[in-house]
A and B are shown apart, each in its own frame.
Chain A
Amino acid sequence: MRFHRTSAIVLRQFYLLRGSPVRVLPLFAWVAIDIVLWGFISRYLNTVARAGFDFVPVLLGAVLLWDFFTRVMHGVTMAFLEDVWSRNFLNIFASPLSIGEYLVGLVLSSIATSSVGLIMMVVLASMVFGLSFFGYGLLIVPFLLVLFLFGIALGILGSALVLRFGPASEWLVWPVPALLSPFSAVFYPVSTLPHWMRQVSCLLPPTYVFEGIRAILAGGGPGGAAMAWSVCLSVFYILLASWFFSRIYRQAVRSGLLARHSAESVT
Chain B
Amino acid sequence: MSGPVTPKVLSVSRLRRVFHDTIAVDGISFEVGRNEIVGLLGPNGAGKTTTINMILGVLDPSSGTIRVEGVDISANGTLALERTNFAAVYAPLPGNLTVSQNLRVFGRLYGVKDLPMRIGELLDRFDLKDRKHVKCGVLSSGEQTRLSLVKALLNRPLLLLLDEPTASLDPATARDIRAKIREYAARDKAGVLWTSHNMYEVADVCDRVLFLSRGRILLEGDPRTLPREHGKETLEELFITVAREPLAFEQA
- A residues at B contact (CB < 8 Å): 2, 4-5, 7-8, 11-12, 15-16, 19-20, 82, 86-98, 253-254, 256, 258-259, 262-267
Contact = CB atoms under 8 A, between A and B. Distances in A.
B91 A91 contact: yes
Given A15-B101, A267-B48, A267-B50, A95 B59 contact: no
Interface string B34-50: 00000000001111111
A254 B98 CA distance: 33
Contact of B19 (A15, A92, A265): A265
Interface residues of B, number: 43
A96 B24 contact: no
Nearest to A90: B91
Contact of B78 (A19, A98, A263, A267): A98
Contacts of B116: none
A124 B95 CA distance: 36
23 contacts: A4-B111, A5-B111, A12-B101, A15-B98, A15-B101, A15-B105, A20-B96, A86-B94, A91-B94, A91-B106, A94-B56, A94-B86, A95-B106, A95-B110, A96-B77, A96-B110, A96-B111, A256-B59, A258-B58, A262-B90, A262-B91, A266-B22, A266-B47
Contact of A2 (B19, B60, B96, B111): B111
Contacts of A8: 105-106, 108-109
A4 B108 contact: yes
A119 B108 CA distance: 30
Contacts, number: 118
A95 B105 CA distance: 11
Given A11-B105, A258-B59, A265 B97 contact: no
A263 B88 contact: yes
B66 interface: no
B109 A5 contact: yes
B136 to A, nearest CB: 9
Contact of B53 (A95, A97, A259): A259
A82 B101 CA distance: 15
A259 B93 contact: no
B159 to A, nearest CB: 12
Given A15-B97, A263-B88, A263-B90, A94 B57 contact: yes
Given A19-B96, A266-B50, A253 B105 contact: no
A11 B102 CA distance: 10
B160 to A, nearest CB: 12
A2 B112 CA distance: 13
